[in-house]
Amino acid sequence: MAVLEVLAYPNEFLRKKAQPVTRFDEPLRTLVKDMEDTMAAEDGVGLAATQIGADLQLLLVHPYAFKGDEARDEPVLVVINPEVAWESPERITAEEGCLSFPDVFIQVSRPAKVRIRALDLEGRPFEVEGEGLGARALLHEVDHLNGVVMIDHVSFLSRQRALKKHQKNQADLVAAAKKKKAEAAKAPKV
Ligand code: NI
C-alpha cells in the first residue's frame, strides 16, 4: 500500500495538460493501485493522475459516485485517455470539493449527464455514462487532466472567496505541522 502526496493548488503541475497513456504495463497497474490507496486514504470520490504529479491521462472514480452507498465495496472505475462523447444540455449546480483544495467547497454548474469514451487498464475501449454525482465526478477529473480546476468554473467573487478559504486552510496546515515538530523536539529522547 502506498499513499501518494496529493498536490495542492496552486502547484503548477495542476495546470498541465496530461499526456495520453501509451503503455498498459506493470508500472501503470502499480500507479493505479497507489492512486486507489491514496483516494481511499483521503476519502475522495475521484482522483486524477495530475493531482499526484503523474503526467498521464488517467483518472479514477469511486463507484459510490454512480451507485451510492451500496457500491462502497465495488472496484474503482479506471478511466484512461478519456474523451467527452456527449454532455446533456441540462445542467445542475451542486456543491463540489477537490483533494487539491482540502476543505473548500463551492457551488459548480455541470451537465446533469455525460458520456465518456475511454480505455480500461488493459487498453480496451469502453464507454461510461454518469448522472448527477457520477457526471460531476467524471467531468471534474477530466478537467484535471486538461489543467482545469473547479474554481475555473465559478464567478470572480466565488473564486476569490474559495481562494481565501484555501489559503487560510493551507496556512493552518503548515502551522499545525510546525507545532507538531516543535512538540516532538521537546519530547524526551530515551
Ligand atoms: Ni479535484
What domains does the chain contain, in order, with CATH numbers? 12-154 (3.90.45.10)
The active-site residue out of 36, 83, 141, 183 is 141
- Classify strands 58-61 and 77-87 as parallel, antiparallel or unpaired: antiparallel
Q: Is the pLDDT of residue 190 over 80?
A: no
| pLDDT tens digit sequence for 145-182 | 999 999 999 999 999 999 999 999 999 999 999 999 99
Q: How confident is the model at residue 187 (pLDDT cuts 50, 70, 90)?
A: confident
Å from CA of 38 to ligand 1 middle: 13
Å from CA of 178 to ligand 1 middle: 26
Any catalytic annotation for residue 74? no
Extract the C-alpha cell encoding 130. Answer: 454518469
**DSSP secondary structure, 66-135, as one string:** HHGGGGTTSPPEEEEEEEEEEE-S-EEEEEEEETTEEEEEEEEEEESEEEEEEE-TTS-EEEEEEETHHH
Q: How confident is the model at residue 72 (pLDDT cuts 50, 70, 90)?
A: confident
Å from CA of 100 to ligand 1 middle: 6
Q: Cell 464507454 appears where?
A: 127
Å from CA of 60 to ligand 1 middle: 11
Give CA 1 to chain center in angstroms. 19
Average pLDDT taken over every residue of the chain: 96
Average pLDDT over residues 5-17: 97
Angstrom distance (rounded) from CA 73 to CA 136: 21
Angstrom distance (rounded) from CA 7 to CA 99: 8
Please tell me the predicted confidence (pLDDT) of residue 159: 97
* Model-wide pTM > 0.85: yes
Please tell me the predicted confidence (pLDDT) of residue 6: 97
Please tell me the predicted confidence (pLDDT) of residue 170: 95
Å from CA of 42 to ligand 1 middle: 12
Average pLDDT over residues 92-105: 97
Q: Cell 463540489 appears where?
A: 96
Name the CA radius of gyration of the chain, rounded: 18
